[in-house]
């Protein structure tokens, strides 16, 4: 990333920052949570979507907090959030703007400090999932703890191998294990002390975006309701505590609507998912041979098997399509596992299915989905022979390391698409 710039704090320590967009509008200052370096954020497609979307509404600037990424270590003899406050001001000064919006996740402590000490430098703040500053994340950097941590903070992406790899690399590049523990200890100590001394603030209340979670996970609510009693709060659906969830683009649009004061124009929620179509082969002749009662019984068993296979692998049945179904999954690997399970179970019923899978963005339309990815998955399914599972290149790439093997089927011109698509057949272990 050759556009990273450096500014300095009063004691000479360096703070690394990057101007992500120069769109006309207010300055938007963003730091990641917890210790991920800014240079890693765009390597995750969901975080990149969040940043690119937000950058359409103002001058978006990222920086590495003291003690993380390319910035110098924090001073262990001073309060951590006071140093973070100084870093915010230093970046504003380096850019040459008098005031900025803060766009942050989890922590509201710096917002409170700026509102209290430098009200003229704070245009406002949008805080995603505010937490109790005294709690701090209980994250051990041992590799065996990562799965449990991701299940808690990003259940919607836990089964995505590319995300798990990105998450691990971002942690390693942000700070060492010892540095990270020191960072969290300093943040908890500083946050607890600041929170204890703050009185309710009625000026410049932030906007809060909170995912709907269990009450046990909302420990931060008591704090921000006390400190910012006039804060505007929007609750959105989902279990992921991280910004880089599948609806990251929608989160950015909602933030932008508060920052600009203009409601977003009925946004269509877009999500990156694995789209699966499955279809029974020769169902009409089979139904005729079995008779109405027999076929109804077989079809009921097939549909029950299909739902179990899809739900077992965290999929959602969007709708039935004749004797098949359209389903979505959080990752290509989950869709592949469901397709293999369904194929085996369907064969036990003396039936055959053809299946097509593609990973791409879909538009949520009420209980249905639409978009190019859906049409493409349907065309891919039509290329499958009885018993085959055909996937696009995006599926094969996104499921690397998952143990699946693929046989090239070549580039195909699919109906409705001008450009050829590389297709692959999943290699099956036949007994």
Residue-wise pLDDT tens digits, 321-365: 777 889 999 999 999 999 999 998 888 888 889 999 999 988 876
Please, are residues 41 and 51 in contact by the beta-carbon 8 Å criterion?
yes
CATH code for the domain of 159: 3.40.50.1820
Q: How confident is the model at residue 408 (pLDDT cuts 50, 70, 90)?
A: very high
Please, are residues 384 and 356 in contact by the beta-carbon 8 Å criterion?
yes
Are 72 and 201 part of one and the same domain? Answer: yes
290 pLDDT more than 80: no
Following DSSP, what letter does each residue of 362-413 receive, concatenated?
EEEETTEEESHHHHHHHHHHHTPPTT-EEEEHHHHHHTTTSS--EEEEEEE-
410 pLDDT more than 50: yes
120 pLDDT more than 90: yes
Helix (H, G, I), strand (E, B) or coil at 202: coil
Prediction pTM value: 0.62
342 vs 419: CA distance, rounded Å = 31
Query: Phi-psi region for residue 282, left (φ > 0), alpha (ψ -120 to 50) or beta?
Result: left
Are 250 and 342 part of one and the same domain? Answer: no
Q: Give the phi and the psi of residue 406 in degrees, each rounded to 5.
A: -130, 145
Alpha helices, H only, 198-282: 221-227, 248-260
287 pLDDT more than 60: no
265 pLDDT more than 90: no
Are 78 and 150 part of one and the same domain? Answer: yes
Closest CA to 106 of 126, 125, 127, 88: 127
Please, are residues 99 and 120 in contact by the beta-carbon 8 Å criterion?
yes
Are 110 and 233 part of one and the same domain? Answer: yes
Are 369 and 240 part of one and the same domain? Answer: no
Question: Is 365 inside any structural domain?
Answer: yes
Token pair for 152: 């808690």
Are 281 and 254 part of one and the same domain? Answer: no
Residue-wise pLDDT tens digits, 130-139: 776 655 544 4
Q: Give the phi and the psi of residue 104 in degrees, each rounded to 5.
A: -135, 165
% of the chain residues with pLDDT over 70: 86
Considering 260, 285, 302, which residue would you say is the last residue of a domain?
260
Question: Is 239 inside any structural domain?
Answer: yes
Question: Is 393 inside any structural domain?
Answer: yes
Residue-wise pLDDT tens digits, 138-161: 444 444 466 677 877 888 887 777
Are 281 and 147 part of one and the same domain? Answer: no
CATH code for the domain of 362: 3.30.70.1230
Are 172 and 256 part of one and the same domain? Answer: yes
394 vs 278: CA distance, rounded Å = 18
Following DSSP, what letter does each residue of 48-108 receive, concatenated?
HHHHHHHTTSSEEEEEPPTTSTTSPPP-TTS-HHHHHHHHHHHHHHHHT-S-EEEEEES--
Identify the pLDDT of residue 140: 44
Are 193 and 299 part of one and the same domain? Answer: no
Give the number of domains in the chain: 2
Token pair for 314: 């965290």
| Average pLDDT over all residues of the chain | 82
Considering 238, 260, 282, which residue would you say is the last residue of a domain?
260
Residue-wise pLDDT tens digits, 18-62: 999 988 889 999 988 778 899 999 888 889 889 988 998 999 999
298 vs 287: CA distance, rounded Å = 9
Identify the pLDDT of residue 14: 96
Identify the pLDDT of residue 58: 92
Question: Is 20 inside any structural domain?
Answer: yes
Question: Is 265 inside any structural domain?
Answer: no
Residue-wise pLDDT tens digits, 180-207: 777 777 777 777 777 777 777 777 778 8
Q: How confident is the model at residue 214 (pLDDT cuts 50, 70, 90)?
A: very low
Question: Is 431 inside any structural domain?
Answer: no
Question: Is 219 inside any structural domain?
Answer: yes
Question: Is 9 inside any structural domain?
Answer: yes
Are 187 and 63 part of one and the same domain? Answer: yes
Determine the structural domain holding residue 163 and report its residue range: 5-260
Considering 241, 260, 279, which residue would you say is the last residue of a domain?
260
For the chain, how many helices (H) and strands (E)? 13, 16
Are 315 and 422 part of one and the same domain? Answer: yes
Are 250 and 278 part of one and the same domain? Answer: no
């Amino acid at each position: 990333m050759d556009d990273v710039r450096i500014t300095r704090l009063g004691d000479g320590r360096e703070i690394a920052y990057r101007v992500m967009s120069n769109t006309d509008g207010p300055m938007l200052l963003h730091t990641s949570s917890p210790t991920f370096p800014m240079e890693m954020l765009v390597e995750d497609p969901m975080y990149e979507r969040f940043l690119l979307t937000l950058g359409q509404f103002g001058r978006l600037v990222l920086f590495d907090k003291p003690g993380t990424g390319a910035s110098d270590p924090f001073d262990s003899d001073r309060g951590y959030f006071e140093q973070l406050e100084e870093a915010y001001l230093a970046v504003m000064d380096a850019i040459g703007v008098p005031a900025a919006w803060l766009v942050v996740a989890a922590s509201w402590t710096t917002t409170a400090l700026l509102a209290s000490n430098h009200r003229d430098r704070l245009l406002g703040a949008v805080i995603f999932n505010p937490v109790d500053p005294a709690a701090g994340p209980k994250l051990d950097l041992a590799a065996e703890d990562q799965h449990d941590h991701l299940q808690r903070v990003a259940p919607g992406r836990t089964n995505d191998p590319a995300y798990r790899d990105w998450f691990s690399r971002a942690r390693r590049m942000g700070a060492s294990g010892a540095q990270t523990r020191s960072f969290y200890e300093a943040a908890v100590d500083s946050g607890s002390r600041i929170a204890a001394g703050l009185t309710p603030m009625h000026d410049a209340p932030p906007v809060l975006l909170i995912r709907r979670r269990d009450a046990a996970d909302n420990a931060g609510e008591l704090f921000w309701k006390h400190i910012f009693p006039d804060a505007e709060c929007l609750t959105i659906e989902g279990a992921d505590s991280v910004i880089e969830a599948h609806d990251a683009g929608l989160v950015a649009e909602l933030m932008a609507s508060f920052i600009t004061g203009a409601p977003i124009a009925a946004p269509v929620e877009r999500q990156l998912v694995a789209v699966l179509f499955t279809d029974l082969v020769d169902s009409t002749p089979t139904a005729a041979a079995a008779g109405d009662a027999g076929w109804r019984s077989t079809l009921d068993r097939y549909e029950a098997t299909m739902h179990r296979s899809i739900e077992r692998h965290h999929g959602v049945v969007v709708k039935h399509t004749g004797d098949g179904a359209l389903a979505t999954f959080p990752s290509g690997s989950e869709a592949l596992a469901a397709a293999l399970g369904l194929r085996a179970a369907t064969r036990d019923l003396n039936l055959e299915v053809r299946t097509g899978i593609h990973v791409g963005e879909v538009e949520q339309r009420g209980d249905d989905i639409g978009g190019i990815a859906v049409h493409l998955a349907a065309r891919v399914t039509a290329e499958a022979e009885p018993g085959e599972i055909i996937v696009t290149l995006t599926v094969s790439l996104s499921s690397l390391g998952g143990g699946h093997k693929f046989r090239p089927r070549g580039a195909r011109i699919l109906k409705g698409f001008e450009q050829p698509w590389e297709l692959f057949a999943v290699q099956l272990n036949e007994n």
